[in-house]
A = this chain, B = another copy of it.
Amino acid sequence: MAKELKELTTRQENYSQWYQDLVIKAELAENSAVRGCMVIKPYGYAIWEKMQRALDDMFKETGHSNAYFPLLIPKSFMSKEAAHVEGFAKECAVVTHYRLKNSPDGAGVVVDPAARLEEELIIRPTSETIIWNTYRNWIQSYRDLPILINQWANVMRWEMRTRLFLRTAEFLWQEGHTAHATQAEAEEETLRMLGVYVRFAEEFMALPVIRGVKTASERFAGALDTYCIEAMMQDGKALQAGTSHFLGQNFGRAFDVTFIDREGKTDYAWATSWGVSSRLIGAVIMAHSDDNGLVLPPRLAPIQVVIIPIYKSAEQLALISERANLIASRLRAMGISVKFDDADNRKPGWKFAEYELKGVPVRLAIGGRDMENGTVEVMRRDLLAKETLPQEGIELIIQQLLDEIQKNIYRKAQDFRATRIADVDTYDDFKAKIDEGFFVMAHWDGSAETEERIKNETKATIRCIPLEGDRSPGLCMITGRPSERRVLFARSY
């Protein structure tokens, strides 16, 4: 076993350290010289590219186009929507000057005080304000609606406590911003995009999610309703994996975006926004990986199949390589990404450990005896199970195996969640289950006070009011007041 592998903290020992170790050792990302900002390394970025491609296709299938709006936002824009400013204008990077000059003492450069901006600009923490300020000029009539736009961008929120992928000052994301002629259309869009996120999480990330609506206190600043998907990590904590906001006419009003409707009356445009970010890379890692390293769902794995030759001579290597390259080219023709690793400075054992660490779903090993017998050793990463199979027809078997692994990882996450979710009826049971790392379904009286008390006493928050599942009414576990239905509580990332 390789040195790096041995050094990975186990989940049991310290889940948080295991995650940190894994991100670093699998070469996904690292901290940068700039506080709170990460470097996304090629292997981590390749996962993001697969996510982008899949999501982008789904956005386009649902009628959206991409566009690009400025990175910088005039400070005054942030104050235009009353709730928005409270949520976003505070911890943010502020640009105050536009020039540096040589330091008078000759050592480096200093800010040129003469180049002070009249109005400070902030680096976008989210783009509702600059986008709705732009939409004002694009929208006159109902015929200009809907506007269905998405943006792939970097954003910045000055976080004090950061963690690679999960919470960083700068992160990559997509933000959809749509404008509609009616409330009904905007609400429909909000739920449509929530559905896209559910499909992406389940089909690509192999991550079962609970869809629901946030309570008032957890809403996006400026939204009337925030919908979300919540996933369970292996420590039982929840991770919010996507949000879709119904913004009503708040931004239409704040930025004076009016239109003439079919009846000739003037109204404010209705808005939605929705986003997922590079934190989803963190979610995929945390949900599926094990003490040997990453376990990546095949549909997001940068390398789906690795082939490793085991040889004693250059002659034998040549023979194995010919066969390996044939298999690789057939797999590639099927759209499967393959790496043939014939590097001569690493032993097979090192390579085995390395690709386990990197979460490559399927490993093929071909040795001298395999060449004699026409066989290949196939290892699936999710179960760490090996099997020797005929080389003949191996490509179709691998294709099916990749599908099976994708499904199995999903099933495993679903089964795990099933063992960690419970209905509770008393606050004592609630506290016990939360401490055990459960998702808890409990009755709540709907008040912000009760929600706040539970949060302060247990660190659990209402992740969402689920859209599906048991809808029976009951009594709040704390106050005994009526509750419309159970809501989902958990500690969260």
Report chain B residues within 8 Å CB of A66.
42, 45-46, 49
State whether B85 touches A67 (Cβ < 8 A): no
Closest chain B residue to A120 by CB distance? B111
- Please tell me which stretch of A91-99, A305-313, A397-405, A406-414 contacts chain B, meaning at least 4 of its Cβ atoms lie within 8 angstroms of it: A91-99
Report chain B residues within 8 Å CB of A96.
94-97, 111
Query: Interface of chain A, helix or strand or loop or mixed?
Result: mixed
Complex Cα distance, B71 from A134, in Å, reads 24
Q: A73 at the A/B interface (Cβ < 8 Å)?
A: yes
Complex Cα distance, B71 from A38, in Å, reads 10
Complex Cα distance, B109 from A89, in Å, reads 8
Complex Cα distance, B91 from A122, in Å, reads 17
Report chain B residues within 8 Å CB of A158.
98-99
Closest chain B residue to A88 by CB distance? B100
Chain B nearest Cβ from A281, distance in angstroms: 11
Chain B nearest Cβ from A293, distance in angstroms: 20
State whether A123 touches B71 (Cβ < 8 A): yes
How many chain A residues touch B (CB < 8 A): the figure is 64
Q: A70 at the A/B interface (Cβ < 8 Å)?
A: yes
Complex Cα distance, B156 from A335, in Å, reads 38
| Copies of the chain in the assembly | 2
Cβ-defined partner of A90 (8 Å) among B68, B73, B100? B100
Also in contact, A67 and B93, with CB within 8 A (given A74-B33, A76-B108, A100-B75): no
CB contacts under 8 Å to B, within A71-86, are: 71-79, 85
Q: A345 at the A/B interface (Cβ < 8 Å)?
A: yes
Q: A456 at the A/B interface (Cβ < 8 Å)?
A: no
State whether B34 touches A72 (Cβ < 8 A): yes
Also in contact, A67 and B90, with CB within 8 A (given A96-B96, A108-B76, A109-B75): no
Q: A191 at the A/B interface (Cβ < 8 Å)?
A: no
Closest chain B residue to A345 by CB distance? B143
Q: A149 at the A/B interface (Cβ < 8 Å)?
A: yes
Against B, the Cβ 8 Å flags (1 = close, 0 = not) of A119-131 are 0111100000010
Complex Cα distance, B159 from A48, in Å, reads 32
Complex Cα distance, B72 from A71, in Å, reads 12
Against B, the Cβ 8 Å flags (1 = close, 0 = not) of A344-357 are 01000000000000
Complex Cα distance, B109 from A81, in Å, reads 12
Against B, the Cβ 8 Å flags (1 = close, 0 = not) of A55-69 are 000000000011111
State whether B101 touches A32 (Cβ < 8 A): no
State whether A45 touches B71 (Cβ < 8 A): no
Report chain B residues within 8 Å CB of A65.
42, 45-46
Complex Cα distance, B30 from A140, in Å, reads 17
Q: A375 at the A/B interface (Cβ < 8 Å)?
A: no
Report chain B residues within 8 Å CB of A32.
69-70, 130, 134
Q: Which 4 A-B pairs have CB atoms at the shortest separation, nearest pair first?
A: A42-B65, A37-B70, A79-B108, A40-B68
Residues in A lying within 8 Å of B, measured CB to CB: 30, 32-34, 37-42, 45-46, 48-49, 65-79, 85, 89-101, 107-109, 111, 120-123, 130, 133-134, 137, 143, 149, 153-154, 156, 158, 170, 172, 345
Q: List 25 A-B contacts (CB under 8 A).
A: A32-B134, A33-B70, A33-B74, A34-B72, A34-B73, A34-B121, A34-B130, A37-B70, A39-B67, A39-B68, A40-B68, A49-B66, A71-B154, A78-B109, A79-B109, A89-B100, A89-B109, A90-B99, A90-B109, A93-B97, A93-B121, A94-B95, A94-B111, A95-B123, A96-B96
